[in-house]
Amino acid sequence: MEPIKKAIPNLFTLANLSCGTVGIILSFQGEIETACYLIWLAAGFDFLDGFLARILKAQSEIGKQLDSLADLITFGLLPAILYYHMLVGKIDSPLEYAGVLIAVFSALRLAKFNVDENQTTSFTGLTTTANGIFTSTLPLIIVGDTFMSGSLANEWVLFTCAIVFSLLMVAPVTLLSFKFSNFTVKDNWQRFLLILLSIVLIVIFKTAAVPLIIVVYLLLSLLTQPAHKKIA
């Protein structure tokens, strides 16, 4: 039973990897929106693999390494390709390949995470998953005629996003993790507050809420650093 139990989280990790791989293929077939939605689905699988590993006490070294490899494809390489599709033809220079930095810094961030024993209830730097979700909403917002569509369609805004979010992934700042050790309000009030604010923003802004949620997440993490460092 033990090998089977340890295999369960890995199945969700492989589902994450499959979503990323299919998303890459579809993006080159012009199915950009579908590729974006696959990142969302993969994020769900990414949450479940870690959640199940903790619940089943099925953490393993191979699971940890496999998770990072899957994340690099789904939340590193696929978002880099999405940036290329958004920038190609808009900037007549090598700058249209700025999305490559997303893949490079995702690899650096994941390698650092794999050897860091301290990233339990908090993360150092923005996670690749959060970056992938942010990137996946950009094409959807651009074609969705929202209040942010015009701004995000600008090539220099997209270029800046690629640079800033690449650097955020390796920035030496402590950010809140969603790894619940318990569900008490005292230990998790930042997480519950973020969930509540996220629901409100989604109800109001729909897809356009996602970049706002990422910004709220960053601000909440930075403003409450002493609190979640103490918990960690």
* Distance of alpha carbon 162 from alpha carbon 132, whole angstroms: 11
Contact indicator for 49, 9 with CB cutoff of 8 Å: yes
For residue 84, being part of any structural domain is answered with yes
DSSP string, the chain: -HHHHHHHHHHHHHHHHHHHHHHHHHHTTT-HHHHHHHHHHHHHHHHHHHHHHHHTT---HHHHHHHHHHHIIIIIIHHHHHHHHHHTTTSSSGGGGTTHHHHHHHHHHHHHHHH-S--SSEEES--HHHHHHHHHHHHHHHHTT-TTHHHHTSHHHHHHHHHHHHHHHH-S-EEE----S---HHHHHHHHHHHHHHHHHHHHHGGGHHHHHHHHHHHHHHHTHHHHHHH-
For residue 120, being part of any structural domain is answered with yes
* Distance of alpha carbon 84 from alpha carbon 189, whole angstroms: 38
Residues in the chain: 232
Residue 144: its pLDDT value, please? 80
For residue 183, being part of any structural domain is answered with no
* Distance of alpha carbon 182 from alpha carbon 131, whole angstroms: 26
For residue 31, being part of any structural domain is answered with yes
Angle, helix 209-223 to helix 128-143, in steps of 10 degrees: 150
Torsion of CA 135, 137, 143, 148, to 10 degrees: -90
Contact indicator for 67, 11 with CB cutoff of 8 Å: no
Residue 10: its pLDDT value, please? 92
* Distance of alpha carbon 55 from alpha carbon 148, whole angstroms: 40
Domain that residue 12 falls in: 2-173
For residue 222, being part of any structural domain is answered with no
Residue with tokens 């993490």: 221
10-residue stretch averages of pLDDT, the chain, 232 residues long? 79 96 97 97 94 84 92 97 91 87 96 77 85 95 83 91 95 81 74 92 91 91 65 40
For residue 114, being part of any structural domain is answered with yes
For residue 194, being part of any structural domain is answered with no
Q: Which of 116, 141, 115, 112 is nearest to 128 (CA)?
A: 112
If one counts the domains in the chain, the total is: 1
Contact indicator for 57, 109 with CB cutoff of 8 Å: no
Residue 232: its pLDDT value, please? 38
Contact indicator for 9, 53 with CB cutoff of 8 Å: yes
For residue 202, being part of any structural domain is answered with no
CATH number where 134 lies: 1.20.120
pTM over 0.85? The answer is yes
